[in-house]
Amino acid sequence: MKDWWIYGGEGAQEARRTVLTGLEAPPWRQFAGTPDPEYTAPRNEGTAWERTEARGRGYVPDESEKDAVNTALYLRRPLLVTGKPGVGKSTLAYSVAADLGLGPVLHWPITSRTTLRDGLYHYDAIGRLQDANLHQMRTGGPGRATPDPAPETSAGSADGGAGAADASSITPYLRLGPLGTALLAQDQPRVLLVDEIDKSDIDLPGDLLTVFEEGEFEIPELARLAVRQPSARIATDDSPDDLVRVERGRVRCRAFPVVVLTSNGERDFPPPFLRRCIRLHMEPPGREKLERIVRARLRIAPEDGRYEDLIQSFITRGADGDLATDQLLNAIHLRLNNAWSGPEERERFLSTVMQRLTGPST
């Protein structure tokens, strides 16, 4: 344990979180967003937090992982985690959130069709049009997309003037995505997991560069209304009921989020993108780490030897093709519950639960 570590370091969680929020960022990574005093981000309670904590608490980081995470925390840079499937890349993000008490992880899964806007915000233009058509059918004439809301929850007019609720009232159809929510101005950073970024369209890593560098983005649908309606309250990725005020259509962060990007190595990334990330390559865990993972995840005492032979089988089978750590956990869970208990079933049991992910037999 190193003195400079925040994640995985010494001291109580609250004390280390205080160190994190008070840590001076490099001059080129300082951001000046103004928090919304009426908005409170989800903290360490509720179902979403319980899922984050349950997944993150059983993670067993090694020294190189702690070094990389803490480097990213100090420099306010995204952490790009590469490695084979099943080595725990995604779980590392939950571990950071659970260890420092940073609230539920914001999860952005990436596919080949994902665009930058999907992560920043969603605008349901079709839903708005359908509501307007329904209103017109009911009233026999043109009408608003939605009934008149209160002034501060319409298109966001701060003064509630004559234009506060009209055909341009779009806030009920806007919602921040996981990246957009992570970039909200807050004194305490959120953890954002950008999962499997190597599956993205070739342009997405480049599109992320500006957002990661500037720590802000614009919502054009609100920016166009800013002269008449400078303030709007829209929903966040956490919940449609959690509204946050956006000024003049622009979201600016204050504490840069803890961004964990995972990649299975299916593609290379451009040098400008790599230059802006702290990189960590996770190797498959060895026997000692596997034992610590099993004890932590399944709450097994060190002297309990019922899983030792399964760890050896996992290592042996992994030599002929990749296996994921959760396959070992599944096998040990079955063993502890007396499933597949017959000695004659051992090979079939291993072939069923520890199917190789790569290699000739896949």
**Taking Cα atoms as reference points, which of 306, 307, 323 lies closest to residue 315?**
323
pLDDT exceeding 70 applies to what percent of the chain? 91
pLDDT of residue 148: 39
Q: What is the mean pLDDT of the chain?
A: 89
pLDDT of residue 155: 35
Sign of CA dihedral 101, 108, 269, 213: negative
Distance, CA of 39 to CA of 36 (rounded, Å):
5
Q: Which residue has the tokens 């070992």?
A: 328
pLDDT of residue 141: 59
pLDDT of residue 331: 94
Q: Which two tokens stand for residue 231?
A: 């303030």
Distance, CA of 35 to CA of 140 (rounded, Å):
43
Q: Which two tokens stand for residue 352?
A: 């069923």
The residues of the chain scoring below 70 in pLDDT are 140-168, 360-362
Give the DSSP per-residue string, 281-331: EEPPP-HHHHHHHHHHHHT--TT--TTHHHHHHHHHHHTTS---HHHHHHH
pLDDT of residue 142: 56
Distance, CA of 66 to CA of 34 (rounded, Å):
31
Amino acid identity of residue 90, one-letter, is S
pLDDT of residue 307: 85
Give the model confidence (pLDDT) of 49-80 as tens digits: 999 999 999 899 999 999 999 999 999 999 99
pLDDT of residue 154: 37
Question: pTM value?
Answer: 0.87
pLDDT of residue 360: 67
**Taking Cα atoms as reference points, which of 197, 175, 185 lies closest to residue 115?**
197
Distance, CA of 172 to CA of 32 (rounded, Å):
27
pLDDT of residue 150: 39
pLDDT of residue 134: 81
